[in-house]
Amino acid sequence: MEWYGKLNDYFPEHEMKNPQQLKELIEEHDYYHKEETDDYVMLYADFPDFIFIDYLLVTSNTRGKGFGTKILDKLKEQGKMILLEAEPALPKDSDSKRRLQFYERNGFKKADLIRYTRRDEQDEPYSMHILYWSPAGMPQAIVKEMMELACDEIHNFRARRHYGRQLVDLDEALEWKQ
């Protein structure tokens, strides 16, 4: 699973799923897909009403050459809302800022009315942004509902088997900001 190594080298440790969980998602669910070329790796769920991008990595040798935009444009052609998670821009991590700018340039909006908090393996909380693209205006209430489904179907898929716990507690992870 060379693709897993590439993802693991790039994404923060607390964002990486167990490789066996990902393998089972790919093998057992028609809606969960892995695309891999020399230029990129993408894992995503294609639900009837939206697409959830779990991981998207454009390799370092092709980054900045339009591959990421082409990948997103191909998904946008389906005419469905696209959801993904992104870590907030961190002062000491220029990649986190570049990722957010990349998605903004490609028409993604931050679900700024929704607080999304996950917990790492040490049960420490960390915040993530929910980014979405929609061919038509989309109320954030719908974004939240779709994110809850993605969390339940993807992050929590056999989570107890692989981690001994649910990865996302839906009652506390997604909340409306006050």
Q: Select, from the ranges 4-18, 83-97, 137-151, the one with the highest average predicted confidence (pLDDT).
A: 137-151
- 66-94 in b/e form (b: 16+ CB < 10 A) is eebeebbeebbeeebbbbbbbbeeeeeee
Question: What local confidence, expressed as pLDDT, does residue 14 receive?
Answer: 86
Burial class (CB in 10 A: 0-12, 13-18, 19+), 124: exposed
pLDDT > 80? residue 40:
yes
Q: What is the pLDDT of residue 65?
A: 78
CA-wise closest residue to 86 among 7, 175, 11: 11
pLDDT of residue 1: 67
The yes-or-no verdict on residue 60 having pLDDT over 90 is no
pLDDT at 3: 94
Asked if 146 and 85 count as a contact pair (C-beta separation under 8 A), the reply is no
Instruction: Choose from 8-12, 114-118, 123-127 the range with maximum mean pLDDT.
Output: 114-118
pTM of the shown model: 0.94
pLDDT in the model for residue 124: 86
Burial of 166 (0-12, 13-18, 19+ CB in 10 A): middle
The band of 148, judged by pLDDT with boundaries at 50, 70 and 90, is very high
